[in-house]
């Protein structure tokens, strides 16, 4: 049975982060669901830089399903919209309570996870502009990607590929990460583990 991942997106989500996460997880054979978080019923969102992305469904259709991973892209005002989503907060709290993987990149560690108290027991990172608002047990500002138990955080658009590959490793193992990264002609980068 394949692993499942939920990627919520909203108007203003950072396109590089969202698309990289979706693409890399799908290359690994993960069943990815892209869910629109918006006030209407439209599945179309406009990213932070004007790119139109069509979600698979509304987040409202995802609330009664279990997920192996929930990964939240950043971007402004996308992360703010995601932070305002009550259904997403419930999903994330359930994920944390069940000890399942949850992840965020860029502004999302601070605005989505930290603002809900979901990082209080975690070492985390985020975009340098939001690190002072992280509200985590400890900030790791040196590492591009930080893994602390079931929580994975990363710094921003330039770290999106490292972040997505770490998500693959955490979900599917190191061998699958290498299978996915090798054809991409990548070099290895450092990840901090706690």
Structure tokens at 45: 């969102």
Q: What's the confidence (pLDDT) of residue 129?
A: 95
The strand pairing partners of 139, in sequence order, are: 124
Backbone angles phi, psi at 168, to 5 degrees: -60, -45
Domain 4-193 top-level CATH class: alpha beta
Give the range among 88-92, 134-138, 164-168 with minimum mean pLDDT. 134-138
57 as an active site residue: the answer is no
Which residue of the set 62, 106, 151, 172 is catalytic? 106
Structure tokens at 14: 């950072």
Q: How many alpha carbons lie under 13 Å from residue 136 in its C-beta half-sphere?
A: 27
State the Cα torsion 123-128-131-136 to the nearest 10°: -10
Confidence band (pLDDT; 50, 70, 90) for 38? confident
Predicted confidence (pLDDT) at residue 89 exceeds the cutoff of 70: yes
What's the mean pLDDT when you consider all of the chain?
A: 95
pLDDT tens across 39-87, in order? 777 899 999 999 999 999 999 999 999 999 999 999 999 999 999 999 9
Q: What's the confidence (pLDDT) of residue 138?
A: 95
Q: What's the confidence (pLDDT) of residue 189?
A: 58
Calculate the CA 174 to chain-centre distance: 19
Q: What pTM was computed for the model?
A: 0.94
């Amino acid at each position: 049975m394949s692993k499942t991942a939920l990627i919520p997106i909203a108007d203003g989500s950072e396109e590089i982060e969202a698309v990289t996460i979706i693409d890399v997880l799908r290359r690994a054979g993960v069943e990815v669901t892209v869910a629109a978080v918006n006030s209407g019923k439209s599945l179309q969102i406009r990213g932070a830089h004007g790119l139109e992305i069509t979600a698979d469904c509304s987040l409202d259709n995802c609330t009664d399903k279990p997920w192996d991973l929930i990964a939240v892209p950043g971007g402004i005002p996308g992360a703010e919209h995601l932070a305002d989503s009550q259904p997403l907060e419930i999903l994330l709290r359930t994920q944390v309570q069940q000890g399942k993987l949850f992840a965020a990149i860029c502004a999302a560690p601070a605005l989505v996870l930290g603002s809900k108290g979901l990082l209080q027991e975690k070492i985390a990172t985020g975009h340098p502009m939001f690190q002072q608002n992280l509200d985590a047990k400890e900030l790791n500002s040196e590492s591009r990607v930080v893994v602390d138990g079931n929580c994975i955080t990363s710094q921003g658009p330039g770290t999106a590929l490292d972040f997505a590959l770490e998500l693959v490793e955490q979900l599917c193992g190191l061998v699958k990460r290498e299978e996915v990264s090798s054809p991409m002609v990548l070099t290895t980068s450092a990840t901090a583990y706690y």
